[in-house]
Structure 1
Amino acid sequence: MSDRLFVFTLSCEDRPGIVAAVTTELADLGANIAESNQFWDQATNRFFMRIAILVPEPATVDSLQRALAPAISRFDMKTSLYDMSRRPRMIVMVSKFDHALLHLLYQIRVGWLDAEVVAIVSNHEDSARTAENEGIPFHHWPVNKDNKAEQEERLLKLVHETDADLVVLARYMQVLSDNMSKRLFGKVINIHHSFLPSFKGARPYHQAHQRGVKMIGATAHYVTADLDEGPIIEQDAERVSHSMSAQDFVARGRDIESRVLARAVKYHMENRVIIVGNKTIVFTQ
């Protein structure tokens, strides 16, 4: 009989016995703990935990939920439980710059990112050939002020039809409406070509170059109604110097963006991220 991998995440008020209560229930099922991470936020006295478990077949999400119910109820936990045998599905949205999209596709191809791109959506046709080469459905949906609401409804329909777990804005140069951001909260990741909160808006690398900064970076975050203010998942930065041109900044930045977005998507797909208000707890390996 084979084992099945699940990921269980929880948050609750911290007090003694939480870990013991969870692991005791899991032991009774014959489960084996493959990975465990935990964090106590002293400022709020909240406890967070992610645990990856191997459970003998025919385990299901429902059977595990029932087994863990006493511990969940006892500690008033906010929980999520995921069956990792289901390959996560995502829609990637892109405009003209395709470096972040190409990096995601490469990381899937080599097996570092275990996910499936079920659609590529763009307001331009530049990535149509990439989609064709990869065998991925391509949707060319030009956006303007008159059809924005209509195109967003098409996106929601596509999310439903493809059973997508995540929408990735891989340098998609359109702002999602407040309504869309709220309806897909926690399911849309954006890559911002700046080390937030610095240099928001247009041409951030040129802004950074004009200010003579010594480091540039990128930020991957969940999309919210507040533009570029959503919970941050991943960031990175690299040193630059006065001898570099604005185009050097752009080239360096594209590389950082691609890597940061891929890591953020991986963390999300592996259920390593817990959203807490306007920030995140990220259990990296």
Structure 2
Amino acid sequence: MGSGMSTLPPNFVFKGALATLLVLQLARGRRPLATAALLAANALAFYRPGAIGRILPEPELVGFNPQLLLNERYRDYLQQLGFLGLGELLVEAFLLPPFYHVDEGHLLSNMAFLLSMGARLEASMGTAEFASMTTALLGLSRGIAVLLSKGLMILLGHDVAACYEYSSVGFSGVIFGMEAVLAWSYGHPVVLIGRWTFVPAKYAVWAHLFVLRALPRKTNFLGHLSGLLAGIVYHYCWRLMKRCSSINRNATTTIRSMALLPTRFAQKLLSSVTTTAAAAGDDDRHRRDEGYPHPRVV
């Protein structure tokens, strides 16, 4: 049996598990196109096949660290890594880190959560809106992480920077944002302990955040918290835009109705005058007919 196990192709377990999850989603009648595209992007960035490996930067050069923008010492470190301009900084320190992962276990756990929540959100929101939401979460989570890091530096001093000397990678921050959107927008009770213990989805998201923090493996609490807050911000901004859109539609309808009032009044007035004139003409013809009867033909 040992020799039989050694003949398995590399990454067999991961690819089989991911394919099984995707087949289960398809069997439920879901066609999560944007979610499948995100899965493919993460897998390609991790395995780097063929020409993709030559195009993408090396994993050692990719990582998100808020201190890179807040501390001069980290800017010098950034220059030592070979970042030459703002474009490379945006790509290698902001855009690519969510699609890079430390190992296959890290990738599999993130992709399992992404496939589960992404398929549900995409089915509810539609592919286009889901894709725009994911893009917004990518930017919001990064911006909130920088703001939180700056706040910690102001409150605790520059010594707190030592806690964030490592760079983070992985899609978990965006996944926390999706989980928050799912809980706040489509909240349902979730089973947390046993069979009959229900916890509101909003509280379950926070519990998930702190449970991951308590685990012995190294996790980026700041990145997860930033993603969760990004999801909450997106939810309320989305509700505000929907409400403003509804108000705009109602206001447009009201303004259109008010603008058409003179036209409608003129139409009613013209119709009334025409009806009165027609009635007067009919009455006049009726009186003439009574005074001058038509001759009879014998």
Q: TM-score, normalised by structure 1?
A: 0.28
Structure (1 or 2) with the greater helix fraction: 2
Q: TM-score, normalised by structure 2?
A: 0.27
Higher relative contact order (CA 8 A, sep 6+): 2
Structure (1 or 2) with the greater strand fraction: 1
